[in-house]
Chain A
Amino acid sequence: MHFYCGRILRVDLTEGRVSTEPLRTEWLERYIGGKGLFLRYLWEELVPGTDPLGPDSPIILATGPFAGTCVSTCSRLLVGFKSPITGTIVDSYVGGSYGSEMKYAGYDLIVIKGRAAEPVAVSIVDDDVLLVPASQAWGWTTSATERWVREWAGRDTRVLSIGPAGENLVPWACISTDQYHKAGRGGGGAVMGAKNLKAVSVRGTGGVSVPHIREFMADTQRMHREYLLVDAHMWAHTDGTPVLVDPVNGAGAMPTRNFSGGEFAGAGNINSEAFQRYRVRKRSCYQCVLSCRNYHVIDDVSCEGPEYETIALCGSNCGIDDIGALTRFHVACDELGMDTISTGAVVGLAMDLTERGVADYGVRFGDVEGYLAAPAAIASRSGIGEALALGTRVVAQRSGLPELAMQVKNLELPGYDPRGSFGMSLAYATSDRGACHMRAYPVSDEILSGLLAADTLKGKAQYVLNGQNSSSLRWTGIFCDFWFPDADQISQLMRHVWQRPVSADELMAVGERIWNLGRLLNLRERPAVEPDDLPAPLLERSLDNGPAAGNIISRVAFHEALQEYYELRGWSRDGVPGERKLKDLDVDVRLQPEREVA
């Protein structure tokens, strides 16, 4: 078939069995691919209440229709699972080359379940799928694991792997590919570790077919010229995400010293200009002409990144403006296989508690030595890591200051303090996986374009809703936010897929349908999934410094905006999608009616 392989792979690690089956093509018009297809499969694959670290918990790798084609940014891979941190669904995205290679091997989706008795790697070469003993690699870093897999599977093999953090079930352990690309958030690495699954490698020699391929190529190249390789996006090539440091810090929204301040005095030492001094090379994800990845050599460390979120959470939030130390910390997290957002957040919290004298983790804001020792301690759960690996919420509770944990649904906040960008409060609270900047991004207009006032929630419910619907649509592709194609641009590509006229409105309905399906999945996991809320200080207290100091979101304003959001969504006051909305959107699943109490 065109654009899709029409086939999925199933791996049962308990039984050591692999099988293939046809893709459920009847879902494609409703859900397209990527996020939509993942959620629809997860609805069938995940038994409500399943322990995320238990054998029955699935990991799903999903691609979109454009993976493996010439459409830029669409090599992205979705790694999906039920999160050990939040108990919610998590769809985590990663660039690199894995998504394209999976399609060349002939799989749109891979569903992995079970638990191997001993550490294993799954090796996929086209139709040949093997479970390879991986005990010798257990304990190895992500780069050593990739090198090891390439030795026996071949140089062109793409590898997903975990590091020691995933093996030790650190809740925010991530999944690594092409060494520096991470499916970062939500703890996919721990889900793999719990399955004794060290790596999944793939090599494909097949192809992806599309109708009228020469016309499709010409049309895609036109879109690249008109929409992608234009001034609005070239920052990703010339600077990359470190470009965000100056505007976000300038708006007073840069997390500083465990979210106590919004302006970091040392920002100039870790901004785009600072990193450009050490830049040696640009790299691309597979099939992407934008090429946003930056290689740096700083002191004796050579690496790709860090990206903005790492700079914010592991830099300013820890009071660190030493670019060499920050880069070292970033590389340590990459090698150990840990999300830098959650790692930076918990280290920042440990510094805060130590400074306050309520606990002693031996780390203080700006102290490079203790800071650099933290990642290894956390990944191995030794020393201070034994406590810190429990996450900000538990660490703060143990010290009697639960309000110091900056998390939503137990997932730590990324690099935007909502007091400097009010819309982010609603974006974090209503995200489908806890505090996340990748679902709706009011920063874009509250800070970057400056088109919207940052210190009000007025009008933000609609803004956040639109953002969530359109991100859900983009991640069917799976498009990257450095392109950020709108529904009209995506419709120009979907015409080739559906071989009929496609409207932007029709596609926005797909996005809304997907967001509602995600909501149903999370509601199905109640009561483990917590209500939409924010830590009290973010609503009630002002930042200590910076241009946003003095701004208070207020609990009343937040709850008004949340109710407005539910109403606009067609959801109940408790945030449950109404039957009418689900019917209008043609969502094809329903929650079981709650059992009546006799």
Chain B
Amino acid sequence: MARVSVDTRKCTGCHQCEIACSAWHEGQFRPSLARLRVEADPASGKVRAFACTQDRCGKCRDACPEGAIKTRSVPVKVSSGTIQCTVLVVEPDECTGCGVCVDVCPLKVIFLHPDTGKAVKCDLCDGEPQCVLACQNPLVQAVELRPDQPARVG
């Protein structure tokens, strides 16, 4: 279990993660449609970042009146090998574009695509999260695939 996480103390606000995300999903460099969001304030230099926490949150899935947001388990490549991750995926054929998911998302990282009208969100790029690859500076490395704490038992 893991999710994309941006360490805002390390992040320098270059937006390469958003650029890469849009390239992968949209086939063009169009960060306004990125599935994660970085806000960098030029005055203070401070950065805020928003990335889907998948089923740790799950509000979009739970709220979808069509049941169009599915829980899937996908293998995701990390430096040490492959780990199995849970992602919430929008099934486009079932999505009616009602926008309920957008309203309930606490981080505003699910939105209706301006061309298709259907909801889109982070799907960990078929197991190769592009945002993580694009955060290249070894002295920064703010975007990472962060393993969740194992669920407490008993």
Contact = CB atoms under 8 A, between A and B. Distances in A.
A287 B24 contact: no
B13 A283 contact: yes
B139 A207 contact: no
A70 B16 contact: yes
B133 A221 contact: yes
A289 B16 contact: yes
A282 interface: yes
Interface string A227-247: 001000010011000000000
A96 B42 contact: yes
Contacts of A104: 30-32
Given A206-B30, A207-B30, A221-B133, A146 B19 contact: no
B63 interface: no
B151 interface: no
B133 A69 contact: no
B131 to A, nearest CB: 12
Contacts of B135: 289
B139 A234 contact: yes
Interface stretch (A208-216, A418-426, A471-479, A528-536): A208-216
Contacts of A280: 45
A69 B29 contact: yes
A146 B42 CA distance: 10
B115 to A, nearest CB: 11
A282 B23 contact: no
Interface string B114-153: 1000000000000000100111111110000000000000
A285 interface: yes
Interface residues of B, number: 35
B39 interface: yes
Contacts of A446: none
Nearest to A204: B32
A291 B14 contact: yes
Given A70-B23, A283-B12, A237 B136 contact: no
A160 to B, nearest CB: 12
Nearest to A67: B29
Interface in A268-300: 280-291, 293, 295
A221 B137 contact: no
A289 B14 contact: yes
Contact of B23 (A214, A224, A238, A286): A214
B45 A295 contact: yes
A301 interface: no
B20 to A, nearest CB: 6
B27 interface: yes
A284 B14 contact: yes
B29 A289 contact: no
A207 B22 contact: yes
A407 interface: no
The prevalent SS among residues of B at the interface is: loop
B134 A291 contact: no
B15 interface: yes
B44 interface: yes
A107 to B, nearest CB: 15
A207 B14 contact: no
B45 A304 contact: yes
B84 to A, nearest CB: 24
Contact of A281 (B24, B27, B45): B45
B42 A207 contact: no
A302 B41 CA distance: 13
B136 A221 contact: yes
B28 to A, nearest CB: 4
A462 interface: no
Contacts of A238: 139
Contacts of B40: 283
Contacts of A287: 14-16, 19
Interface in A445-498: none
Interface in B16-52: 16, 19-20, 22-24, 26-33, 39-40, 42-46
B41 to A, nearest CB: 9
Interface in A195-227: 204-210, 213-214, 217, 221, 224-225
Contacts of B13: 283-284
B29 A70 contact: yes
A304 B19 CA distance: 25
A290 B135 CA distance: 10
A67 B55 CA distance: 36
A166 to B, nearest CB: 19
B134 A221 contact: yes
Nearest to B31: A104
A30 to B, nearest CB: 25
Given A70-B19, A204-B32, A229-B138, 4 more contacts: A97-B15, A205-B114, A207-B30, A229-B137
11 contacts: A68-B29, A70-B29, A146-B42, A179-B43, A205-B30, A206-B32, A207-B28, A214-B24, A229-B136, A289-B135, A304-B45
Interface of A: 68-70, 72, 96-97, 104, 143, 146-147, 155-156, 178-180, 204-210, 213-214, 217, 221, 224-225, 229, 234, 237-238, 280-291, 293, 295, 302, 304
